[in-house]
Amino acid sequence: MKKLLILFLLLPLTAAGQLKISLGADSPLRKLQIAHMAVENLYVDSVDANELAENAIRGMLEKLDPHSSFTTAKETRELNEPLQGNFDGIGVQFNVIEDTLIVLQTVHGGPSEKVGIVAGDRIIAVNDTAIAGVKMSRADIMKRLRGKKGSKVNVLVKRAGERKPLAFTIRRDKIPVHSMDAAYMIEPGIGYIRLGNFGATTHKEMLQAADSLRRLGMTDLVLDLQDNGGGYLSAAEDVANEFLEKGDLIVYATGRSVPRHESKADGRGRLKTGKIVVLVNEFTASAAEIVSGAIQDQDRGIIVGRRTFGKGLVQRPVELPDGSMIRLTVSHYYTPTGRCIQKPYKAGGRKDYDLDFEQRLKHGELTCRDSIHFADSLRFETLRNHRTVYGGGGIMPDIFVPLDTLQYTRYHRSLVAKGIVVQEAIKYYDKNRRQLRKFKTLDDFKQRYVLPESLFEAIAEEGKKQKVEPKDDDEKQRTRPYLTEQLRALIARDLYGESAYFEIINMTNPIFTAGVAEIKRNI
């Protein structure tokens, strides 16, 4: 019952600041308490009281809106970890191929690098428990490798060229989690930064990247927020602040029981000059939409891509005694012009809400701008240049880029869905690691590296084993160009890091090319 009783904290306050709690005969809370006690004491089979309370909470929240939610203590930790900036572990990037963990990279200066583990090592046992050849899940492997900072873990490693396995004792430490996916110079004067989410270290990471790019001559910036699902509001405010003038409104939020809260730029931003283009798509959401909306409404930059997701509901976390958490929607986000970011929804209509992408595709919104219709009541004007922008959910870009439905063949989508492309690329890299290292720089790799036919044959053969085959030779040939660039990008990532992946794969992205074309106008 503790989880139900803690919900009393959400009840309105009296003038004296006391909770208005009524457990009279007609009280809804009394009804809930009686129901819980009846099931716990009278139900035909034994029940878990804690599970009953959790299901009751979930049932309440599911009938409210699509983003109010409940998570167990374990789920809460897992959800928060990517945003907190670090976790405790051994510091390796790995993948599991054929039931064996292969180290792709070690974190520079991290615990594994310090004891001598290198890329290509295969970790076959952890604390005397075999993890190779036993069909152990990735989650279970991570559980064994992670642990509290300062604790020790023993691993057994199989290394190419060594006859016997090598034993290492690793002292776990804080491992950084980065929210910036890539940063590089597109061409002289134009920099590129891609943010994967908005976490505790996002602002710091972005500024470090921007400073590095400016030393390389950056004057204008392409900020990539495609597929960025959001994160911390404070991180979004800090990022937007870098581009805006003192006093510029970034975002405001208001709700039935929450007073209006405004966030304004403090004028100390370090990216207030130069052209800005922001790249977005239908998976850009929440905090990423706040940044996009602020830059658009303040006429600071141009938004390029497709209408964003439309997640503008503010959740307040309510921590429960066992570490589980309720995230309760308490207000709406609004852009500086007063546009509500949240797209329409029906209370309890989570299924229809989750199918929004399919509905956009069905109605042609993702492929044709003319298929997107806005009521006159949703028309707004930007604050400086008085350009027309629209509300009604999400951020509608200034320059629309249609989804290219022909870029990916059915054959390619099936290969990717089965994990065949990534797995075969990793196998190839692992076998040819030494030869690939002869390409000392990414520029050298891009100019001289040619994918071997054997890699395409391996992908086709593995696809055939898993019943994934092209319909005909035409589909096979149409798959080849994008698959080639995807494989080159995956191999480059393992050689040079995450930025290298995007530096190659971006050239196949129509939103990216449209954004670069826009920022080059009038330079």
List residues with catalytic annotation. Answer: 286, 297, 311
Rounded Cα gap, residues 283 and 311, in angstroms: 10
CA distances from residue 410 to 103, 259, 405, 407, 470 in whole angstroms, order as listed: 32, 50, 10, 10, 8
Report the amino acid identity of residue 410: R
Alpha helices in 370-409 (DSSP H): none
Estimate the crossing angle of helix 49-62 against helix 28-42, to 10 degrees.
Answer: 140
> Which segments of 104-197 does DSSP mark as H helices, in order?
111-115, 138-145
* Alpha-helical regions (H) of 375-419: 410-417
Helix (H) or strand (E) holding 297: helix 287-297
Distance CA 424, CA 486 (A): 12
φ, ψ dihedrals at 78, nearest 5° = -65, -35
**Cα separation of 251 and 262, whole Å?**
6
Distances in Å between the alpha carbon of 482 and those of 22, 113, 421?
Answer: 63, 35, 12
The H-or-E segment that residue 170 falls in is strand 166-171
On whether the CB atoms of residues 135 and 99 are closer than 8 A, the answer is: yes
Which two tokens mark 504?
């190659």
